[in-house]
Structure 1
Amino acid sequence: MNLGSHLTQCLLSLPPPLTRDLVVEHDLRVPMRDGTVLLADRWRPRSGGDGLPTVLLRIPYGRAGMAVVPMVRPLAERGFQVLIQSTRGTFGSGGVFDPMRHEREDGLDTLDWVIAQPWFGEAMVLYGMSYLGFVQWAVADQLPPQVKAMIPAVSESALSLEFLRADGFSLETPFGWGVMVAGQERRWAVPRQLLGARRVRRAMSELPLNQADFAALGHRSDYIQDVLAHDAGTPRWAELDHRHRVADIAVPVSSVGGWYDIFLPGQLRDHQALVAAGRQARITVGPWSHTSRGVGVTAAGEALGFGLALARGERPPERAPVRLFVMGEETWRDFPSWPPPDCAPRRFHLHPDGVLSTDTAGESAPDRYRYDPADPTPAVGGVRLALGVRGGRVDNSGLEARPDVLTYTTAVLETDVEVIGEVSAEIWFRSDLPHADVFVRLCDVDAKGRSTNVCDGLVGLTGADRTSRATVRLWPTAHRFRLGHRIRVQVSSGAFPRYNRNPGTGEPRATATTLRAGNQEVFHDAEHPSAILLPVCPATQKSDLAGRGLEHGLDISGLDN
């Protein structure tokens, strides 16, 4: 009995395979246009593998091991042959690994090579998560006709640009990933990474930050130095931005994302670009962070349902273009588009004494707190991508007890309030320093008082010592606030180390050595109406909520403002 096959079947909730008897051809040599040779492994059924539809995975993390086999085996057992290739400079492939920079040319050369092989049939599917999704976007506007579908998961066409924003640098993701790939080919790499996770977290507190890679690795990392020195808008990253290719993708695309995934905003943007261009596209978003098991389960299902059908010249099973897990309701729902039609933004205003209300605020003094980057407001759950760190939905009570976190909460809801779509906040803010961050988090407070994070976002301000409106783009979401619950908004000035701590000095993030604490003010009066904008869906708009006697301004008539 093939124990690995049975375990993978159980792990991914799959039906029994067509065969468990597979053959793996190792170290196939794939030549690139510059003479570099990349290595690949071909998985196929022992009998009848030639001519089957081919799944192509291009991966920088190796072609074997516990993380790879569950991606490859179920596909090769259920109707595909699979080619998994190590990207340039990784695990025996020639050249130097310069993350994301060679994936277009190498990907196009690999496609040409696969199609020319005697074992190739007539159809190919591109598949994979994260970096394995990015390599699909990099070639997607120039696919040969033999490619019948793309299935990118927790990925997007401009993979690094969200966490390299000048006004919101997400330190944890690129730093942790840079440390991981720097040591991934050492002996006992995974145990080393697990044991070194605490050291990596300590390293992110180094000053100056351009010494952090040495503290974590004992040597320099060119990739980490790059991300510290160059913001998303600089020419250094221009060739990694494939957004302009999305509208020209001719093959059907089924993407899988998570509400707590770092790449979700870009993934939804890519889906909208495909739809706007008239392409065949669908998307599934679940209650997951980047490495959640549900991502792999759902992506495998899409490969075997959507991808295999198209590769065989068949129609995939019908379903809506958008399938979302609605948190709070804890159920899957189908929608015709993203964002769903008729879910309109409604303003929930910040008030004195920690009140959140649909009424506009009157005259009031600002709320104040002190942000000290030497003791930064921590990241708790949410959008995280780091070893040993829990992302997603968590209890926020400890975070909300800190003096550097303000909270604003509605009265108890007397009916459900459903929020699905893009979320933003407008916070009127002032600091006694010219440089400061504004972090906003939306939470659901249950009947027992437990506060759970729904979505959040951060923006960095220059000229923060002048009263101004900070516009914060939170992560998109689908959440139902249940009757008896309350809606809460947190306002603070950081979420470290997900976002780099703002030193308050304006020094470049790579070389800053001085930390200055800032005294922050949040305004909520008639001239400075701080608010969060929630896309409230029709079932919970005026027709259903009016006249329910909601107190503290939550009479739904306030939602018309």
Structure 2
Amino acid sequence: MTLMSRLLQRGIGLDTPVTRDVTVQHDLRVPMPDGVELLADRWAPRTGGASLPTALLRSPYGRAGLIGTGMARPLAERGFQVLIQSVRGTFGSGGEFDPFRHERTDGLATLEWVVEQPWFGDSIVLVGASYLGYTQWAMADSLPPQVKAMIPNETESALTLEFLRADGLSLETPFGWGTMVADQERPFPLLRRIAQGRKDRRALATLPLNRADTAAIGRPSGYIQDFLAHDRDDEHWAGIDHRHRVAQVGVPVSSIAGWYDIFLPGQLRDFEILQAAGRPARLTVGPWTHLSRHSTPIREALGFGLAHARGEQPPERDPVRLYVTGAETWQDFGHWPPPGYPPRRFHLQPGGALATEPPVESAPEVYRYDPADPTPAVGGARMVPGPGRVDNTELEARPDVLAYTTPPLDDDVEVIGEVGAEIWFRSSLRYADVFVRLCDVDQRGRSYNVCDGLISLTDADELTRATVTLWPTAHRFKRGHRIRVQVSSGAFPRYARNPGTGEPHATATTLRAADQAVHHDPAHPSAIILPTSRTP
């Protein structure tokens, strides 16, 4: 294990540990109010661990592997004792795993148990990414005084609800997560996950979609059936939404996000709520996807978390630290979104042009969208290996993708903040989607995606101004580069394909192709709206 410790230190660039002599107590039993017992492992230095702050991680993914060796060990070597608990119904913990439902009650009961243990010092820091971050928000408004800080990483207080919008069902991520947790406790999980990814890709083409889980894992999944049947606003999900707790959190929060992370919009919303409520909070957004491996969560736990646990102040920095892609540098700000980046409209023009001037009289451009051959998802915010920033050249060559591009820029243009688009759109069918993507075209003509978004329309056969919310961003378009906007009608399987019939996604069996028209004339000024500031 000393070799593993050294490899981790070198691999993620950590300082030399206080100790490498760490011990693990396995299968500690934590009682819940209903009599169910949850299992936990305690990592601590062999000597002196009982006096240290406790880092608590509550996970549905087990207590070993990347969570144990990759997260608990580095923290236990550098000033924490670490408790990793398997949530209800997972990896030996009692009860049934009903995703998201028990995390508030079980989490608060776990905190009560921790402070009563003979090895407990006097402080707790909540740590963890994704589901592990969500478990923090589930109890954030009722934390005992022993909790000194939260470090939610690539997560948000409502977690999967952003995926389940009635006006834009994000299919790939919740489906893939559902198949992953269905069989994660079987042997050789990493090897099986590779094979499962191939099965998932084939299964997502199944009609009707409510049979796709059986095609992927051989049986129905309760979670997959639920998200296909109930959209975000359905009462079915009321118990898993903890957005109303964010403003009431009473401890400092350090949020870590990624520009290509699946939870970015919700995480930025949570941070804005904290700022508006005057809560002590800071935000770091890097160039990461959801599956990126980087040292920031561990560094924040050791810097921000450990300082607060000891009653000290962490190293001074501005509340908001953003990695500006394109410039490939970090910048600090006082707020999100930062001031000094007023919205600027870039209008779609005839002939594939993009300019700040209003469009001239022109005929709409038309493309055909066929859900039987859907426009594919390329890169972007996805929970699969290899997304993020990728070359879009092949995608833009498809006949179902329109592209609008500025001339080469005379100066750098920096875009930081919320990005939106207004696309005047008409379909030959009543039901259609509008997908908009912002790209940076370099001097060699390669087009790299910056951010994007999709909206589903229910009156698309009438000329409609489709208002599309794209992912937020911090990106610098360098002098000599070009700004490009793509318009299409899908990004499958990231988003569910629109069958064009109005049938529910779960039960739709008919796919209808549509002719889509994008208007850009003085009466219908389609545009992308960018928060911009020219840089020197």
2: CA distance, partners of 1:234 / 1:188: 37
> Is 1:428 equivalent to 2:424 in the alignment?
yes
Partner of 1:306: 304
Partner of 1:275: 275
CA contact (8 A) 1:12 1:300 kept: no
> Is 1:143 equivalent to 2:139 in the alignment?
no
Unaligned runs of 5+ in 2: none
Bigger Cα displacement from structure 2, 63-72 vs 14-23:
63-72
> Is 1:115 equivalent to 2:115 in the alignment?
yes
In the TM superposition, residue 197 of structure 1 has moved relative to its aligned partner by 1.4
1:98-131 CA distance string (max 9 Å, x none): 1111000000000000011111111000000000
In the TM superposition, residue 517 of structure 1 has moved relative to its aligned partner by 0.3
In the TM superposition, residue 344 of structure 1 has moved relative to its aligned partner by 0.7
Partner of 2:53: 53
Partner of 1:164: 164
In the TM superposition, residue 400 of structure 1 has moved relative to its aligned partner by 0.1
1: CA distance, partners of 2:28 / 2:12: 28
2: CA distance, partners of 1:41 / 1:536: 48
1: CA distance, partners of 2:445 / 2:49: 57
Partner of 2:494: 498
1:187-233 CA distance string (max 9 Å, x none): 12221111221111010010000000000000110000001000000
Percent identity between the aligned chains? Answer: 69
Amino acid at match of 2:484: R
Partner of 1:100: 100
CA contact (8 A) 1:432 1:465 kept: yes
* Partner SS state of residue 20, structure 1: coil
2: CA distance, partners of 1:50 / 1:292: 33
Partner of 1:411: 407
In the TM superposition, residue 67 of structure 1 has moved relative to its aligned partner by 4.6
Correspondence for 1:331 among 313, 329, 332: 329
Amino acid at match of 1:229: A
Amino acid at match of 1:375: D
What is the 5 A alignment of 1:18-97? 18-97=18-97
2: CA distance, partners of 1:260 / 1:523: 29
Partner of 1:558: none
Unaligned runs of 5+ in 1: 545-561
Partner of 1:375: 373
Partner of 1:454: 450
Amino acid at match of 1:102: H
Partner of 2:528: 532
1:8-61 CA distance string (max 9 Å, x none): 112221001000001100000000011110000000000001021000000000
1:160-211 CA distance string (max 9 Å, x none): 1110111111000000000000010011222111122111101001000000
CA contact (8 A) 1:434 1:504 kept: yes
1: CA distance, partners of 2:67 / 2:175: 21
2: CA distance, partners of 1:204 / 1:153: 28
* Partner SS state of residue 293, structure 1: coil
1: CA distance, partners of 2:65 / 2:324: 34
* C-alpha RMSD of matched pairs (Å): 0.8
2: CA distance, partners of 1:182 / 1:118: 36
1: CA distance, partners of 2:197 / 2:117: 43
CA contact (8 A) 1:285 1:324 kept: yes
1: CA distance, partners of 2:165 / 2:68: 31
2: CA distance, partners of 1:200 / 1:68: 28
In 2 relative to 1, CA 227–452 (structure 1 residues): closer, same or farther, beyond 3 Å? Answer: same
2: CA distance, partners of 1:280 / 1:493: 41
Amino acid at match of 2:381: V
* Partner SS state of residue 506, structure 1: coil
Task: Give me the TM-score of the superposition, normalised by structure 1.
Answer: 0.95
1:432-474 CA distance string (max 9 Å, x none): 0000000000000000100000000000000100001000000
CA contact (8 A) 1:445 1:451 kept: yes
Amino acid at match of 2:470: L
1: CA distance, partners of 2:35 / 2:344: 57
1:62-101 CA distance string (max 9 Å, x none): 0012453111100000000000000000000000001111
1: CA distance, partners of 2:67 / 2:479: 41
2: CA distance, partners of 1:68 / 1:41: 9
Amino acid at match of 1:93: S
| Number of corresponding residues | 536
1: CA distance, partners of 2:71 / 2:172: 26
Partner of 1:180: 180
